[in-house]
Amino acid sequence: MPKLSEYNKKRDFKKTAEPKGKVKKGGKELHFVVQKHDASRLHYDFRLEIDGVLVSWAVPKGPIADTSVKRLAMHVEDHPMDYIDFEGTIPKGQYGGGTVMVWDTGTYLAEGSDDVEESEKMLRKMHEEGNIKVVMKGKKLKGSYHLVHMHGKDQEWLLMKGKDDYADKKDFDQTSVLTGRTLEEIEEDKKSDVWNSNKNDKSKSKRATPKKAGTDADVESIDAPVAFTPDDVANAKQLKDFPIEWLPQLATLTDEVFDSKEWAYEIKYDGYRAIIQVNKGKVNLVSRNGISFNKKYAPLVKAFEAITNDVVLDGEIVVEDEKGISHFQWLQYFAENPNRGKLKCYVFDILYFNGFDLTSLGLVQRKKILEALLPQSDEIIYSGHTIGNGSKAIKQVQKNGGEGLIAKKLTSKYYVNKRSKDWLKIKVSKEQEMVIGGFTDPQGSRTAFGSLLLGYYEDGKLVYSGKVGTGFNEESLKDMHEKLLKLEQKTSPFSVKPKERGIHFIKPELVAQIKYSEWTETNSLRHPVFIALRNDKDPKKVVREVASSTEKIVPEEKTKKAVKKNTKEKSAVDTTEKPKAEPKKAVTKKPATKKPASKAVAKKGWDHSKAEVTHPDKIFWPKEGYTKGDVINYYDEMAQWIMPYIKDRPQSMRRTPNGIDKDGFFQKNVAGSAPDWAQTEKIHSDSTKEDIEYLICNDKETLIYMANRGCIEINPWSSRIGTLDNPDYIIFDLDPNQASIKDLVTTAKKVKEILDSLGINGYLKTSGGKGLHVFIPILPKYTYDQSRDFSHIISQAVNSALPKITSLERMPKKRIGKVYLDFLQNGKGKTMACAYSLRPREGATASTPLEWDELNDKNFDLKNYNIKTLPERVKEKGDLWANFFNDAVDLKALLDKLS
């Protein structure tokens, strides 16, 4: 149980304003904070929310992102949750007297879990066992971190970075994530020797202490963190009246990213563009069509009331999740659900200030003025920029799951209500506004409507561009249907009537934002996905957006040769697991040691008009010479054997499109990228609070499609559609960590021995790597927690019987030479290579069902089961797991036997 008595005992609350210790009930997320603390010695306080308090460690040298470095972490007293956003000064003479900075903060979960309640249970046990593993979602600390209690010590722990995509040897920024201040600036800002919390100081700048700017005339009233002078507005034109009619400048879509020192690169936000008018203290938020946002986004109106000058600003209104990813649909329905995400406005330009028209000034001058006077808060953020390196900027946007970049010429003026080539849009994914001209009747189990009929205007006529039926849930289907029925009409609004069944036409008054992969030769959108309605767009102004050539806009002699942007759909990849963007390199084909590269893919039993094959000669295994075509041929031949183990199961696609020597990545969300004919299923994710559209592989065409996308291995869920919360098998993953084959075999036999004693038929297979798997089929009536508990019980029994050669220790360094009994593989959404799946490993090995007697073979070698041997093996032995699902056991009966 968490206790705050020690915390309270150490503090005199008459002298310090630190909060008294009170345990608070947990919310919907688990939070953490790292505070940089300059007390008697400089250190960092690493605090994790566990059971309503901040469990704390003092880390003298601070957290790192380098996996090769360990940091000493001294376990100290628990702190109250109210401590999480304190920044300022503790009085001298008081416990911990000195300056405190909020160095980083965010949310986290236990490693291996995407559920808060489950994480809390795991964390209690991890803390008790002295081995805490978490996944952090901070502004600085991201990914896996481990805290391990040093054996035989009292308070000494070690803080380490886990190996993942966020591991790096970079140095962290040493300013506050709340206010942007250094420790010295926080010390200078202290007001008497008491704790100074920023909790209620929402208007404080995030960059520096406010200072009066030394300016004259109408500029002298600025209270700004970055001073500017009269020279900055010397060329500005003075206006008599406040400009209430100004609308934003628009950018031109371009076809590729570029590098130029004459251009600035800003993040392109996925929200509503807004002009912010502050006139005599009154705030008005105006859409790009002149519609007021005040009622819909009232919290922003209140936030902008902190501005005491008359200004016109340009920005983007968004709603972000805890990862900082914006969601347009959340923004659209913010008024109905204001607690879903964080409402913000990113401000990137200033057009008017206290009687001066600033639009004739250059971009850099305008942004300098903007940064100086903008009172930043949780809701209002200054949108910064980088100069020169667009290629690097777009890669970072891709990694963070962003929409794209806006490139702006440094010297550019602001063109009110015009589209200019001084501002360029560079998108990561392709999107297009479309006018809705009708809808079709629903089919099968679908409700409300089937698809929306889309179009765009060309020479004043509405041109049909296809239909979209994905991107909806039951709620949005119903809401959209109500809007459609109110606009229904008998005549077609399209210039050429679409040839679709069950059509209903509507007045072309609704505009939809659509994500797609490409335009077809017939001017239709390929793989369209509905994102949201745009009530800020005029339907008559919706035209087909064609990307202008970057080379024609930005002279080549002024740019470096940048890597051409890959505009294929990126949002199909889960934001917690993005691939690292790499420049294209020529593939060096090494001499094949076992076989030559395939020349073609055998045309066997699948519909090639659906599952197309591209680049079959691409080398996937450089040493062996195996190709992508070999993978496709393998799955074509093995489909009848593998399909029973992947049918009706969501697929977490592990894609290795550049071969086994390059980093692969997992793709869960296939919205907008899966073929129209492929089956998909929307599943709600507790971690992202969004629906993820998973691919369901129920036919050979889908299997070949996955292989063509670079899926060397196949990773299905342990549960099926209809019973997603109830797995139908339990996994025992026997993972050798430099253990011998003899010990691995001994461990597997011990698992069998214990299962046999319970009357359970355990099914054996190779992992396709260095280990073995034992699966137990169960009735899909029980939870993942129950399946994991059973696996844990059996694993403990195996460990007790074989303590010298097995381990339940999760940290690899503590189990070198032992077989790890990994029971944690039993979890919702966790995946394991299925029976007969290839693996992206040396030798093109495959996860192969075995007979238990095969473990007695003195020549047993895991490498013997591979892409070449398996097709012949199944012809000889058949499917050794053919009775797998017929042997499903009742888990409750098993647990009763063990109780």
Active-site positions read 268
Residue 621 in 3-state DSSP? Answer: strand
DSSP tally for the chain: helices H, then strands E: 15, 44
Contacts of 392 (CB under 8 A, 6+ apart): 386
Cα distance between residue 731 and residue 773, in whole Å: 7
Q: Of 693, 699, 709, which is closest to residue 647 (Cα–Cα)?
A: 699
Q: Of 577, 167, 664, 578, which is closest to residue 398 (Cα–Cα)?
A: 578
CB-count exposure of residue 682 (10 Å: 0-12, 13-18, 19+):
middle
Residue 66 CB-half CA count within 13 A: 9
Contact (CB, 8 A) for 717 and 836: no
Q: Of 771, 767, 797, 772, which is closest to residue 894 (Cα–Cα)?
A: 797
The one-letter amino acid at 9: K
Cα distance between residue 841 and residue 863, in whole Å: 10
Contact (CB, 8 A) for 621 and 587: no
The one-letter amino acid at 425: K
Contact (CB, 8 A) for 755 and 862: no
How many angstroms separate the Cα of 264 from the Cα of each of 259, 347, 386, 430?
10, 15, 6, 22
Cα distance between residue 656 and residue 709, in whole Å: 8
Contact (CB, 8 A) for 110 and 123: yes
Chain-centre distance of CA 860, in angstroms?
Answer: 42
Neighbours of 858 (CB within 10 A): 4
CB-count exposure of residue 711 (10 Å: 0-12, 13-18, 19+):
buried
Contact (CB, 8 A) for 88 and 197: yes
Residue written as token pair 């098993």: 894
Cα distance between residue 286 and residue 549, in whole Å: 32
Cα distance between residue 762 and residue 755, in whole Å: 7
